[in-house]
Structure formats: structure tokens, C-alpha cells
A and B are shown apart, each in its own frame.
Chain A
Amino acid sequence: MTEISLVVELTVLVLAIFLGFEVISKVPTMLHTPLMSGTNFIHGIVIVGAIMVLGFADDSFTKAIGFVAMVLASANVVGGWFVTDRMLEMFKRRPEDRK
């Protein structure tokens, strides 16, 4: 990966904090549980780190650690997404089967 200067990284970090608070404060209380599982899914992005560690590993220690990280991160990504989708599907205006 290219080196990015620390100041650039910190700038992006601070902007992300403000953006995060801005966007999240618009989420209604009703959807807070899907919000939690949805953000759960998003922090599954560490899977990128797990792939990089495991993909570039050449000793057995790193391979072992990277493998476990890969299992954990993919459970996080896949589980987080499906559970959020399952929940959001339930939020309906009026059930169609009402007479």
C-alpha cells in the first residue's frame, strides 16, 4: 500500500467522526437495533485487514493468526449483513393480508 501521511489520515478520521454523528443522529429510535447490526456489518470491514495479513503471510505464525482473523471477520461480515436484512424486511407499513 502507498504510504499516506499521518496528517491526512487524522484529517480523514476527524471528518469521519463529524459525518458519522451527523448521519447517525438522523436514524429514528425505531431503527436503532438494525442500526446496531448494520454498523456491526460495517466494522466487518476489518476483513480487508485479515485478507491482507493472510494473503501476504509467509511464516506459519502469521498464517495461523491471519486464518483465525479471516474466520472471525467473515462471520462478522456475513452474519451482520443477513441479520440486518432479516430485521429490515419485517418493518412494513400495513400487512397485505389484512382484510
Chain B
Amino acid sequence: MISDPDVVGLLYLVSIVCFILALKFLSSPKHARRGNWVGGIGMVIAIATTLALDGISNWLLIVVGGLIGSVIGIVGARTVKMTAMPQMVALFNGVGGGAAALVALSEFHVSSGDLAGEEIVSVVLSALIGSISFSGSMIAFAKLQELLSGRPIVFAGQNIVNVAMLGGAAALGVALIAGADEQWVLIGLIVLALVFGVMFVLPIGGADMPVVISLLNAFTGLAASATGFVLNSLLLIVAGMLVGASGTLLTLLMAKAMNRSVANVLFGAFGQVQTGAGGPRVDDGRTVRATSPEDVAVQLSFARKVVVVPGYGLAVAQAQHDVRQLAELLEDKGIDVAYAIHPVAGRMPGHMNVLLAEANVPYDQLKEMDEINPEFPQTDVALVIGANDVVNPAARSDPASPIYGMPILDVDKAASVIVMKRSMAPGFAGIDNELFLEPQTTMLFGNAKDSIVKLIAAVKAT
């Protein structure tokens, strides 16, 4: 048993260093996995130290609770499909937030009103943010898992109801800080915060999920950090804040990649309101030209540089492995192949990279937008698979377009563009894509997986 607080503090310091190193190792895929091990060691040290604290009892409950949670965690982590990664992350995020809120609640209960000023503030913050994160993440999970409609769910006066609920929770929080020591006040706050979390994620559409998940990630970090103030633990304060910083940074990056403010994503109900917007369509006599797998195969075989532009449609069609096969065939012919990844491709930050890595695409072929854009003018064929808005040149040229100003992949600068698409349906933003009418663009209609399988056969034949 450890009774010297300095020993405890030093051991916790070792875990803090481990967590920071874990994040530092993530700066390159070469040693990122080792970093996760370092973080794991840090966690083991933190848990072991806490278990060894003087006076810890209730061992049976601790062990049983830990085992139940671990089994849930392992089974979930082992069985989840990579396409379902966003909802898995949302789920683990939510349980963390829930745990933080519960820790705050029991600290309040045990102290029976005997908390210092800053401790009660921290209890309120931890309970509030943790609860919002918990229920918000559960709704995000349900939407991504398609248990709920991925479309924004809205009703009249929604924002007013939300503000009222958050205001109510805040009022209870102020009452607690002012000295109310009855437990129902804190429980009422938690209930209001839980309902607010639900209402706050319901109106957000599927394609905006990257922003929401990042934000909820930041929330859980902040809740953990607030719990640190309650428990007087620098370990929780630092670890929670590292997560808070990470989530905040990702939220801002995602919003920037969509050229929208975070407020607009959260309160705009985008897909719902703006469908059909985008200015009058000018019919200038240009039409889309369809092509065949055989023609595309010839074009690809005689190219020197091919850039694949994958969108979420590729993942939906489960065509990652086929795309990698096609790319390998082309590489064997001496053709330079790269993948251009837009920051918001997929349903969470960096999702498309994970999906392609799972299909054994080597990571040095995965190019970020800023890295690949200058290369499009030297590209012979850009193969757009299941991506739409992120390659729409209107974002550069048409101030009336709702996506104007959004950074895009400049595929229209390639010598030839092939767009693989199910139909002419518009993308998420509900607007037409000028790219499809450009003279260098041809369309290959059909299911992405079928089309690529046909392409592979045709390339082998040429």
C-alpha cells in the first residue's frame, strides 16, 4: 500500500509523461503503434497506483465492474468494422463522459455539501459537460449506426427549447455553487444536461458528424479535466486537457475543411434547410458524357500518373480492396498511382485513410489535399470514386454556391477526369457539379464495386 502522497504524485507524473509521449509518437505512422503501447503503460501505472492507495476497499465491486467494462471494450474493439469506426469512437467517448459525470455526482454525495468553492464549480462542470457528452455521443452512435435517421431531425422552436434546457441546467448549477446542497438539484442538472445532449445532436446531419464527434471528444476531455479539480488530481487535469485540446483542434479543422463555422454546423441543420439552393442552373447545352470500363481501362493503361479520389461512396460500396487491386495492376505497368484524401472524406476526421490502410494501401500513397493539389496539372487521369462536393469547382468559382470557399481537390486540372457514380444525383449539399460537364470529364455510371471489378478485368485485357 502506498501512503506517501509524493510517491503517488511521482507515479502519476510518469503516466502523464507516457500519455504525452503517446501523442508525440502519433506524428508519424512509423512509430504511432509503439506510442499507443507507451500510453497503455501509462494507464496501467495510473490504475495500479490508484488501486494501491491507502484505504481502498470494495475490491469485489472494483474487480467485477472492471471486468464487465473490459469485456464490453474488448469485444466492441475487436468486432467493429472499420467503416463503423466513427460510431465506435462515439460510443467509447460517451461512456467516458458518463463516467466523469457519475464520479462528480458521487463526490458531491459523499461530501454532503462540504465542498470548497472551486470544487463545487468543478462538480457542476463535470456533471454538465460529462452528461451532455454521454447522451450526445449515444445519439451520434445511433445516427451513424442508422438506428436513427441520419437526416437532421428538426422541429419548430428547437433552438428555443434547447436554450431553455441549457439555461435551466445552468441555473441549477448556479444554485449549487451559491450553496444549495441538496442532491436532487445536481440530479436535476444531470437530467436536463442529458436531455440537452440528445436534442443537440438530433438536428445534425450525417455528413456533419465529423465535427460533432470531434466536439464531443473535446467535451469528454474537459469533463475529465474538471473531475481532476474535484479529486485534486493533476493527472486527470492534464490528461483530460490534452484530450480537450485535441478535440477542439479537430473540431476547428473539420469545420474549416467544410468552410463553415462550428456554430453553423451545430445550429444550421444544413442538409435540411439548404437542399436545392445553389442558384439557377444555366443550361448551356453541355451534357455529361458516359463512358465504358473498356475505354477507361485504355486511358488508365496509357497514363503515366493516376490519382484516385475516394469519397464515402467508395466505403459504402465496400470497394476499397478492389481499388487497391486496380492500383497495384497499374503500378505493375509502371504507372505512378496516388490517392488524394480530402479532410472531410468519410464520417470522421481521417476516416478514409483508415479504410484504405485496412485494404493494405501503403500509407505513403495517401496524399493530403495540400500535398496533392499542385500535382493535378501533371496528372493524366483523375479517378473520382464516390466523391462529389469535395471535387466541385463551384467552391472556387461560384460565389452563389453554398459550398463557395470550401477547400476542394483540384481534379478539374487533371488532363482527364473519370467520375464513377451511381447516378446523376447531387451530393450531400444538394447542388449540381460543374465538373461533370467539363470537356475532359467522362462518367462511368454504376455501383462503384461492380465498375472497379469490370475495370480490373479490362485493364488485365489491355
Contacts and interface: CB of A to CB of B under 8 A. Distances in A.
Interface of A: 1-4, 6, 9, 12-13, 16-17, 19-21, 23-57, 61-63, 65-95, 98
B73 A42 contact: no
A13 B241 contact: yes
A41 B363 CA distance: 24
Contacts of B244: 17, 20
B239 A34 contact: no
A85 B235 contact: no
Interface in B318-369: 328, 341, 343, 348-351, 353-354, 357-358, 360, 362-364, 366, 368
Contact of A77 (B28, B43, B62): B43
Contacts of A79: 72-74, 76-77, 88, 91-92
Given A6-B118, A74-B66, A38 B357 contact: no
Contacts of B26: 27, 31, 34-35, 38
Contacts of B220: 40, 43
Q: How large is the interface on B (under 10, 10 to 19, 20 to 34, 35 or more residues)?
A: 35 or more
Contacts of A42: 19, 22-23, 39, 239, 242-243
A74 B67 CA distance: 8
Given A67-B61, A95-B360, 12 more contacts: A16-B241, A23-B242, A29-B368, A33-B351, A33-B354, A35-B246, A37-B89, A45-B236, A52-B56, A82-B73, A84-B36, A95-B362
27 contacts: A1-B231, A20-B242, A20-B245, A27-B23, A33-B354, A34-B32, A39-B246, A41-B92, A42-B239, A43-B96, A43-B239, A43-B243, A45-B239, A46-B240, A49-B233, A50-B65, A54-B65, A66-B103, A66-B106, A67-B61, A77-B43, A78-B73, A80-B77, A80-B92, A88-B32, A91-B33, A98-B328
Contacts of B213: 36
A12 B234 contact: yes
Contacts of B285: none
A4 B234 contact: yes
B100 A70 contact: no
A5 to B, nearest CB: 10
B62 A54 contact: yes
Contacts of A47: 43, 46-47, 99
A73 B110 CA distance: 20
Contacts of B228: 9
Interface of B: 5, 8-9, 15, 19-20, 22-24, 26-29, 32-33, 35-37, 39-40, 43, 46-47, 50-51, 53, 55-58, 61-62, 64-70, 72-74, 76-78, 80, 82, 85, 88-89, 91-93, 95-96, 98-100, 102-103, 105-107, 109-110, 118, 213-214, 217, 220-221, 223-225, 227-247, 249-250, 328, 341, 343, 348-351, 353-354, 357-358, 360, 362-364, 366, 368
A2 B231 contact: no
A32 B23 CA distance: 11
A37 B92 contact: yes
B77 A86 contact: yes
Nearest to B88: A83
Given A29-B368, A34-B350, A88-B33, A53 B96 contact: no
A43 B242 CA distance: 9
A50 B240 CA distance: 15
A46 B29 contact: no
Given A51-B51, A55-B62, A74 B32 contact: no
Contact of A45 (B24, B46, B62, B246): B46
A95 B358 CA distance: 11
A85 B34 CA distance: 9
Nearest to B343: A29
A23 B236 contact: no
B66 A29 contact: no
A44 B43 CA distance: 9
Contacts of B362: 92-95
B302 to A, nearest CB: 23
A74 to B, nearest CB: 3
A1 B231 CA distance: 8
Contacts of B250: 24, 32, 35-36
Contacts of B240: 43, 45-46
Contacts of B65: 50, 54, 67-68, 70-71, 74
